[in-house]
Chains A and B, each alone.
Chain A
Amino acid sequence: MGKIIELKKVNKWFDKFQVLKDIDLEVASQEKIVICGPSGSGKSTLIRCINRLEEHQEGNIIVDGTELAENTKNIEKIRAEVGMVFQQFNLFPHLSILDNCTLAPIWVKKLPKKEAEEVAMRNLTRVQIDDQALKFPGQLSGGQQQRAAIARALCMEPKIMLFDEPTSALDPEMIKEVLDVMVDLAKGGMTMIVVTHEMGFAKEVADYMIFMDEGKIVERAKTKEFFENPKSERTKLFLSQIL
């Protein structure tokens, strides 16, 4: 399997504060990677760099053979291929769930409306909220909104899905319904990078675990090894605190 994402010596600063330090990362197609670490460790910033919601200052990021740089046309093409799910859902409140899902396919991928609606309904069925298609985001529960947000990203038929703490803003009883959708997605062969604290989910689907602290990748290991035999002291401490 070929590399689909490649980060080489990526550095990023917010003013003088360095958030990413010499990040090297390779993700193969269909791999699932879970990133964990304490808050402020730069994990969200890292995945936001992959679709250039944040700009890195040094190093190279290559997504699906295209290097991310100043050239905007490329970036929009990449973003159309990289789906993203946010902590705060970020559904468009002025549009129905169905319109949320068809908007980008119609306007960015130039899909005919009818076809876009078929794709949307297929994805809404997949996340089991097809019966809510005509409602507005404000009328849905948090779990339903996050599943709608996942469906919206899937409607662009992305090659890669990024999840930025997708369950952190949810009530406990709604976390499972979102994780179930993500597990289903992982089993379908999607390339996924997930920032999360849900270690149960990580054990179930992740190929690799990445532990970040203070802007650096401290440990990258196969999932089983990561949980059973972590190498760095920092990782051990973190795991002992959250498990």
Chain B
Amino acid sequence: MNLIAKPSKENIKTYLPIGIVLVILSFLDVFINAFFNYNLLGFFPNQISYFSPLILGFIGFYLIRIEFSGVRFLDILNKNINSNNFNAFLTLLTVFIIIKSIPPLLNWFVLDANFLGNSKDDCTGDGACWVFIKVWFNRFMYGLYPDAEQWRINTAFLILFVIVGISFFVSSRLKKYFILFLVFIYPFLGIELISGGSFGLKYVETAAWGGLSLTFIISAFAILFCFPIGVFLALGRRSSLPAIRYVSIGFIELWRGVPLITVLFMSAVMFPMFLPDGTFIDKLIRVLIAITLFEAAYMAEVVRGGLQALPKGQYEAARSLGMGYWKMNLLIILPQALKLVIPGIANTLLALVKDTPLIFVVGLMELAGMIGLAKTNPKWLGMAMEGYVFAGLVFWVICYAMSRYSQNLEKKLSTER
């Protein structure tokens, strides 16, 4: 008989409690160490003490690795995180790292952070100085837009949210009109409201626009325009007419081959030099066109991937029913191809949103740009960390929302069983 029998159903009564105690002990040790800075197993020699939770946990996991124990929870646990020695080791390491990293993060974000006050001097703790975000919040949202006029931006976005909100609850027939309004009328209405100059609204030049609202405006317009342009380019690249095909290929390869930052710089600085005297195109519009065309080239390749994935039979079936090129593509090919590449489209659009900070090269400042400006303010030096963490969180929320939406769309449109 072995001295230490392999854990099995026979010795479950002794092994299971010992194993559980060891695992709990190891977690507890790391936990107390991390949160209260007290070494529970300090009586061991130094080196062993350092690794003791790992060793204890490892033995514990070994003891509870009982096949077909009949205890449901234990079986699930063993199958998923404790299937062999290596996985048990990885599990322990992951849990330890998570436990270990909670206290410092918690301290920086909340416990040692300062929330109250109006100036840098109010930040006395070691943690984050959220006062910075609070004081500058208005600027981070609206840029240099005049305070008295900010209600216009709020109204524009409020209208958007209300319309989108309502459109989720109306019948599919009405929904069509809502979408048409959102795509074709609302963008220009919103811009009119924010830009002003008519209807008794004070004109606000685009150089004053900024902050998160500018991030949204640029992203929304670029997404709105780059998508159809990308689809046309994708179709063009597969066209049987050589002129259209080569123009599409040339366009796509040109824009894909140039870094966005160069494109933006050229659109803002070099492009006006080629314009005849007296003509003037707003800087924001030039930048928007540049981003749109740049992302359209990427979009085109994503869509082309979907087009190529469709079997030839779909084209033949559509043609055999008497459909011409446009009917075939709009009714049969694109609905299927676009559905296939939703993940790729979401990818491109997420990249687009995250590319918007690059417009700082032409002097426009959206969220990240405003933070960059604020952190160089002499009264607020040394606030880069807070600012960029804040920007990161905001961007993450936006992008995660987009990602979830694309996943829902994918599920909703799936017709396969």
Contacts and interface: CB of A to CB of B under 8 A. Distances in A.
Nearest to A103: B331
A72 B241 CA distance: 14
B171 interface: no
Interface residues of B, number: 22
A168 to B, nearest CB: 14
A149 B417 CA distance: 20
Contacts of A18: none
Contacts of A91: 317
A236 B314 CA distance: 37
A79 B417 contact: no
Contact of B316 (A83, A90, A107, A108): A90
Given A86-B313, A88-B313, A107-B331, A79 B319 contact: yes
A94 B331 CA distance: 10
A77 interface: yes
A108 B313 contact: no
Contacts of B42: none
Given A77-B322, A79-B322, A152-B321, A90 B416 contact: no
Interface in B297-351: 311, 313-314, 316-324, 327, 331-332, 335-336, 339
A84 to B, nearest CB: 4
Contacts of A141: none
B319 A107 contact: no
B415 interface: yes
B335 A108 contact: no
Nearest to A88: B313
B334 to A, nearest CB: 10
Interface string B95-127: 000000000000000000000000000000000
A139 interface: yes
A112 interface: no
Nearest to A79: B322
Contacts of A72: 324
A108 B317 contact: no
B415 A136 contact: yes
Given A92-B317, A94-B415, A107 B335 contact: no
A94 B310 CA distance: 12
B335 A79 contact: no
A72 B327 CA distance: 14
B110 to A, nearest CB: 49
Contacts of B322: 76-77, 79-81, 104, 108-109, 156
Contact of B323 (A51, A94, A108, A136): A108
B314 to A, nearest CB: 6
Contacts of B332: 92, 103
Contacts of A53: 316, 319-320
Contacts of A107: 323, 327, 331
A189 interface: no
A152 B335 CA distance: 19
B415 A90 contact: no
A81 B332 CA distance: 20
A79 B321 contact: yes
Contacts of A149: 317
A49 to B, nearest CB: 13
A138 interface: yes
A65 interface: no
Given A93-B416, A103-B331, A138-B415, A83 B320 contact: yes
A88 B320 CA distance: 14
B324 A86 contact: no
Contacts of B316: 53, 84, 86, 90
Nearest to B320: A84
A93 B414 CA distance: 10
A109 B417 CA distance: 32
Given A90-B314, A93-B336, A138 B321 contact: no
Contacts of B327: 107-108
Contacts of A92: 314, 317-318, 332, 336
A190 B323 CA distance: 22
Contacts of B314: 90, 92
30 contacts: A53-B319, A72-B324, A76-B322, A76-B323, A79-B321, A80-B322, A81-B322, A82-B320, A83-B320, A88-B311, A88-B313, A91-B317, A92-B314, A92-B318, A92-B332, A93-B336, A93-B415, A94-B413, A94-B415, A103-B321, A103-B331, A107-B327, A107-B331, A108-B321, A108-B323, A108-B327, A109-B322, A139-B417, A153-B320, A156-B322
Interface of A: 51, 53, 72, 76-77, 79-84, 86, 88, 90-94, 103-104, 107-109, 136, 138-139, 149, 152-153, 156
Given A80-B321, A84-B316, A152-B321, 6 more contacts: A72-B324, A79-B322, A91-B317, A104-B321, A108-B322, A153-B321
Interface of B: 311, 313-314, 316-324, 327, 331-332, 335-336, 339, 413, 415-417
Q: List the 5 closest A-B pairs by CB distance, nearest first.
A: A80-B322, A90-B317, A104-B321, A90-B313, A84-B320
